[in-house]
Amino acid sequence: MSRRNHKLRRQGLKANPELDITTFLNLMVILVPFLLISAVFSRITILELSVPTSAAGGAAATKPNFTIEVVVRKAGLELSNGAQVVAALPLKDGVYDFEKLTDILIRLKKDYPKKDDATVLMEPDIEYDTLIQVMDRLRETEVEDEESGELLKVDLFPLISIGDAP
């Protein structure tokens, strides 16, 4: 204890204790960069989805009737246009046929180049990994360039809505 504090104690006065914030500053030096770095990485993994909208309403009447719906069932995949099933892809050896789905989606994109949205409808008790794989196939694919032979990433239907299968 310093002499000043000792004199003040004898006189019955309390001295203001000195505040040591060195450890707190050490913590902040480590914590702030860590939080900034982790905030950037968590932002990259966000995928924005929308809920399917109903066909009722004045604005919906001006839109074309063609929609792309991929229905994931336990028996396989179904591709529909909103009114009827266009293609049914049964399981191959217990595995979903994603390659054939990609081929059909590429043909649809060539037929409807301005179409950017699609809907994924799932039955209950389908694995989460299956949903992710279907969404990945809907968003983009790799196509071989005819001239150079390089693989190019092509956007198919990046605006994805999800919902429950009927």
d(CA 102, CA 104): 5
Candidates 120, 115, 109; CA nearest to 51 is 120
Residue 121 · residue 165 · CB < 8 Å: yes
Residue 87, C-beta contacts closer than 8 angstroms, at least 6 positions apart:
78, 79, 104
What is the full per-residue pLDDT of the chain (166 aa) written as tens digits?
Answer: 556 566 656 666 666 778 888 999 999 999 998 888 877 655 555 566 666 555 544 444 445 567 889 999 999 999 988 778 888 889 988 899 999 999 999 888 888 888 888 999 999 888 989 999 999 999 988 887 778 878 888 888 888 888 888 8
